[in-house]
Chain A
Amino acid sequence: MDGDAGLAPPAVDAPSGCTRPLGETLLAVAAVTLRFGGVRALSNVGFDVKRGEIRAIIGPNGAGKSSMLNVVNGFYRPQAGRITFKGRTFARMRPHLAARAGIARTFQNIALFKGMSTLDNVMTGRMLKMRSTWLEQMVYAGRARREEIAHRRVCEEIIDFLELQAVRHTPVGKLAYGLQKRVELARALAMEPELLLLDEPMAGMSAEEKADMCRFVVDVNAEFRTTVLLIEHDMGVVMDLCDRVVVLDHGELLADGPPAAVKADPDVVAAYLGVRAD
């Protein structure tokens, strides 16, 4: 936990608590166990994400939060457990299958195409939606041309939405950290995902950048009805932003519920403060 847990709530109409009615189940994680050699990163973890909600995973360092996201979009292969997305159960999720099914994500340590411009990075998010053949694309004829223009328009809208117009043509390697995180979000949005996974979207940001990012997450959720599953350390942000919270500790599910209830849970307090409350 860093020092600005008491950060003032961002100036937006964030959903408070779990007062919003939740949709049907979009993602269900059941009994997931993940081991690296002898190390148990996750043991028997299960939770669900409802359509339209903003869901958070919190927990101390090494709790298995990032591992959980990596399991959901197929970067890690769990030894046991099932992932059900949109009613379809995946025996083995793989990153490109997750992307195809409508799961987009950002990374804790930014993963961008550093040599490409902001626009080109965002355009890679449209890759799966290209329908023209490579022959058409090579001569830039017919369908390829129309497609390119249509995708470009979508990307420009997203760039406007995330206020990235000024750096549209800058190679992203040259951008400031906070902006890079925003480009990553833009690329994920370009995929028009149904589920957006955000791995510490506000880590290492200034208070102002955090407030901006919070606003974007809320806007995305409200305008595009995108379901969000995010990892965050900043309790203030989590309380303001999220409908429900999953708490992990040492790879185990510690608590699951609305932010206020989770915050009051003695086990959660103990995990964060390092004392047993029994």
Chain B
Amino acid sequence: MLDAVLLTPWSEIAGSPGFFLEVLIGGLLTGVMYALLALGFVLIFKASGVFNFAQGAMVLFAALTFVGLMEKGLAMPLALLATAAVMVGLAVVIERAVLRPLVGQPPIALFMATIGITFFLDGFGLTLWGSEVKRLDIGIPTEPLILGGVFVNGFDVVAAAVCGLLVLVLALFFRYTAIGRALRAVADDPTAAMSVGIPLTTIWVIVWSVAGLVGLVAGIVWGAKLGVQFTLSLIALKALPVLILGGLTSIPGAILGGLIIGAGENVFEVFWIDLHGGASQDWFAYVLATLVLLVRPQGLFGEKIIERV
């Protein structure tokens, strides 16, 4: 038993560094895709202090709409634009119908409201587009690439590149633009933000739109990988341990959290197989998150909250 935990895996890693590298890179590429899922949560939490339970449903809804429009015969770029417009429209509707009436309510009320949005979106999307599993082919090659003698999945490389680019653009957007500043201001103190002329409702629409667009990209990437189906809504659950690891308020944290979990679960699955007997990806991330919670409740990169009692 101790052998299987402490000895054998390390000797295997040392014995075949090339194979280890493949496993590690495969994990990191998946990790970037986890980071993208987590990012949607971070955006909304940063700007409004609301944990948006509906992010997974938004991923599913975006992917369903995108595939549905393509099946209706729309060309891919057109379908992409149309779905993006739908996600922005959704943000406007959510702000009007859900957020605005709940202004000034405690965060838990808003959280409950996002659970409501989840059920609505799941049901509405499946009713509109059907519940059978849809194949999404966006023309990314799936054959393996050989980079420097290491086999990697070509699809994962392209997907990770797209996600990485999106994350970079968002990080720049929120750090350096007036809208990004306004957003951080609203998150910090809504009253003060309004007094310097930041329109709260507009900011909310922008944030939910961006979260919707991030959801769209995540939906396309994950949908192309797993097929577009109801489980896409659940894949967003994988973002929770990522968020716990990275902290709810940190964009770099979400990225690093994703990478750590992606790489960690892949390496653990392959090299510690004697210990757990397989399928450890289903639980590894959650156990890791629990351990992090015990030591650093604010996550690795989150803001430490000190309350005076």
Query: Which A positions have Cβ atoms within 8 angstroms of B?
Result: 73, 75, 94-96, 98-100, 104-105, 107, 111-116, 123-125, 127-128, 130, 132, 134, 137-138, 140, 187-188, 191
Residues of A contacting B193 in the complex (Cβ-Cβ under 8 angstroms): 113, 124
By the criterion CB–CB under 8 Å, are A107 and B192 in contact? yes
By the criterion CB–CB under 8 Å, are A112 and B189 in contact? yes
Chain B min CB distance to A189 (Å): 11
- Interface: B275 (CB within 8 A): no
- Interface: B198 (CB within 8 A): yes
Known: A111-B191, A112-B189, A114-B188. A96 touches B198 (CB 8 A): yes
- 4 shortest interchain CB distances as A-B pairs: A99-B197, A111-B192, A95-B194, A134-B177
Residues of B contacting A95 in the complex (Cβ-Cβ under 8 angstroms): 194-195, 197, 200
**Bound Cα distance from A128 to B179, whole angstroms:** 11
By the criterion CB–CB under 8 Å, are A75 and B196 in contact? no
By the criterion CB–CB under 8 Å, are B172 and A138 in contact? yes
Residues of A contacting B189 in the complex (Cβ-Cβ under 8 angstroms): 111-114
Chain B min CB distance to A209 (Å): 21
**Bound Cα distance from A125 to B179, whole angstroms:** 14
A-B contact count (CB 8 A): 80
Residues of B contacting A104 in the complex (Cβ-Cβ under 8 angstroms): 195-196
Known: A111-B192, A134-B178. A96 touches B173 (CB 8 A): no
By the criterion CB–CB under 8 Å, are A107 and B191 in contact? yes
Residues of A contacting B181 in the complex (Cβ-Cβ under 8 angstroms): 123-124, 127
Instruction: Return the chain B residue nearest A123 by Cβ.
Output: B181
By the criterion CB–CB under 8 Å, are A115 and B188 in contact? yes
Chain B min CB distance to A268 (Å): 30
Residues of B contacting A94 in the complex (Cβ-Cβ under 8 angstroms): 199
Ordered by A's residue number, 9 sampled pairs between the chains whose C-beta atoms are within 8 Å are A95-B194, A99-B197, A107-B192, A107-B195, A113-B192, A124-B193, A125-B196, A128-B196, A138-B177
Chain A min CB distance to B229 (Å): 36
Q: Which of A99, A115, A116, A134 contacts B196 (CB 8 A)?
A: A99
**Bound Cα distance from A98 to B198, whole angstroms:** 11
Known: A111-B189, A114-B189, A115-B188. A127 touches B176 (CB 8 A): no
Instruction: Return the chain A residue nearest B191 by Cβ.
Output: A111
Residues of B contacting A191 in the complex (Cβ-Cβ under 8 angstroms): 196-197
- Per DSSP, chain B at the interface is helix
**Bound Cα distance from A134 to B176, whole angstroms:** 8
Chain A min CB distance to B305 (Å): 12
Interface centre among B172, B181, B182, B200 (most CB of A within 10 A): B181
By the criterion CB–CB under 8 Å, are B197 and A127 in contact? yes
Residues of A contacting B288 in the complex (Cβ-Cβ under 8 angstroms): none
By the criterion CB–CB under 8 Å, are A134 and B173 in contact? yes
Q: Which of A75, A115, A137 contacts B177 (CB 8 A)?
A: A137
Could you give, for residues 117-135 of chain B, a 1 whenever the CB lies within 8 Å of some chain A CB and a 0 otherwise?
Answer: 0000000000000000000
Known: A113-B188, A113-B189. A127 touches B198 (CB 8 A): yes
Residues of A contacting B195 in the complex (Cβ-Cβ under 8 angstroms): 73, 95, 99, 104-105, 107, 111, 188
Could you give, for residues 161-176 of chain B, a 1 whenever the CB lies within 8 Å of some chain A CB and a 0 otherwise?
Answer: 0000000010011001
**Bound Cα distance from A114 to B182, whole angstroms:** 14
Residues of B contacting A125 in the complex (Cβ-Cβ under 8 angstroms): 196
- Interface: B152 (CB within 8 A): no
Known: A96-B199, A127-B182, A191-B196. A137 touches B191 (CB 8 A): no
**Bound Cα distance from A137 to B181, whole angstroms:** 11
**Bound Cα distance from A124 to B183, whole angstroms:** 11
8 Å CB interface, B249-296 against A: none
Instruction: Return the chain A residue nearest B303 by Cβ.
Output: A115
Residues of B contacting A138 in the complex (Cβ-Cβ under 8 angstroms): 169, 172-173, 176-177
Chain B min CB distance to A130 (Å): 5
**Bound Cα distance from A115 to B303, whole angstroms:** 10
Chain B min CB distance to A83 (Å): 16
Q: Which of A73, A113, A130 contacts B178 (CB 8 A)?
A: A130
Instruction: Return the chain A residue nearest B186 by Cβ.
Output: A113
Instruction: Return the chain B residue nearest A140 by Cβ.
Output: B176
Additional A-B contacts beyond A96-B199, A112-B189, A134-B177 (12; CB < 8 A): A95-B194, A99-B194, A107-B191, A113-B189, A124-B193, A127-B185, A127-B198, A128-B197, A134-B179, A138-B173, A187-B192, A191-B197
Residues of B contacting A123 in the complex (Cβ-Cβ under 8 angstroms): 181
Chain A min CB distance to B267 (Å): 36
By the criterion CB–CB under 8 Å, are A124 and B177 in contact? no
**Bound Cα distance from A112 to B180, whole angstroms:** 17
Interface centre among B173, B179, B196, B198 (most CB of A within 10 A): B196
